[in-house]
Amino acid sequence: MLVLSMEREILFKREAQVAEITLNRPDKGNAMTRGMVDRLASIAAEIDRDRTMKAVVIRARGKFFCTGGDIAAWGALTPDEMSREWILPGIDALERIAALPQPVIAAISGHAVGGGLELAMAADFRIAVRSAKLSAPEVALGMISGWMGVRRVAELAGVARARELMLLGMPIDAEKALDWGLLTAVADDAADMDRQIGVWLERLCANSSEAMALTKGILASMRADMRHHHASAAAQAAASEDCREGVRAFLEKRRPTFK
């Protein structure tokens, strides 16, 4: 039953040489549960084995691209559980996507928040509709971006801009994200986004799979393995009274009072 539920909440299909992953939990802002995280990891493993695929597109249905991790999935975890059962599996899923030999495109059709932004940053190309906003609001909950988000933002946009995005926790619009390097392109609307993605896919499918995989491998070698450092930091944040207060305030729909 759980597997069938996850298959409904994350759709997967292959068409010609393109694999497509679609987040399909629009009533919850496509917030991710542990089952959805595991489903992403298994899909990535399946794509990795299928060398007939030349590109991957990650999409979402509804108003949001993804609002991150469902607070109901992690809000009550102990610090050890947070590290072992939430952060490390999430990092593993996103790292599997980032490590795919095929280029990955994130089609950001709505706001990308927290873990949703981290998911988008695991892709090689990111295109967003002009109305979309990107944000990392975890600090307002007494938490941190635990799925390697801090590092990925710094790699893509630079440390100074990572400080602005991750410490203020305020959203930025698509044009600013494009200027920062967090986006590859901005589209006027969903139709324009599909048109631009189509141009990219046509080019990617004409390229050498081996050459693209080797290029991605070289780029990946520039990154040190920091997953356990992130997991430890997230567990430390989860153990704080600030995080407990942040989760309570979120559930009670009020502003948190941090001490």
Which domain CATH number covers 8? 3.90.226.10
- Residue 241, in any domain of the structure: no
**Number of structural domains the chain divides into:** 1
Write out the DSSP string of 38-71.
HHHHHHHHHHHH-TT--EEEEEE-SSEEE--B-H
In-domain check, residue 227: no
What is the full per-residue pLDDT of the chain (259 aa) written as tens digits? Answer: 455 556 899 999 999 999 999 999 999 999 999 999 999 999 999 999 998 999 999 999 999 999 999 988 888 888 889 889 999 999 999 999 999 999 999 999 999 999 999 999 999 999 999 999 999 999 998 888 889 999 999 999 999 999 999 999 999 999 999 999 999 999 999 999 999 999 999 999 999 999 999 999 888 877 656 666 666 766 777 777 877 777 788 788 888 887 7
**Does the annotation count 138 as an active-site position?**
yes
Asked if residue 247 is part of any domain, the answer here is no
The answer to the question of residue 57 being in a domain is yes
Count CB atoms within 10 A of the CB of residue 188.
Answer: 12
Q: What is the value of pTM for the model shown?
A: 0.86
User: Is 86 a domain residue?
Assistant: yes
Residue 149 in tokens: 């988000």
Tokens of 151: 């590092």
Query: pLDDT tens, 9-59?
Result: 999 999 999 999 999 999 999 999 999 999 999 999 999 999 899 999 999
DSSP 33: P
In-domain check, residue 62: yes
Spatial contact of 132 and 109, defined as CB atoms under 8 Å apart: yes
Token couple for 96: 């599997």
Residue 198, in any domain of the structure: no
Relative to beta strand 10-15, strand 185-187 is unpaired
In which residue are the tokens 């990392």 written?
136
Q: Active-site residue among 15, 95, 118, 175?
A: 118
> Residue 174 falls within a domain, yes or no?
yes
What would the two tokens of residue 177 be?
A: 């994200």
Q: Length of the chain in residues, anyone?
A: 259
How many Cβ atoms are within 10 Å of 217's Cβ, its own excluded? 11
Q: What residue numbers bound the domain in which 133 lies?
A: 2-190
Cα-to-chain-centroid distance, residue 203: 24
Active-site hit among 15, 20, 138, 175: 138
Residues 161, 170: contact at Cβ < 8 Å?
no
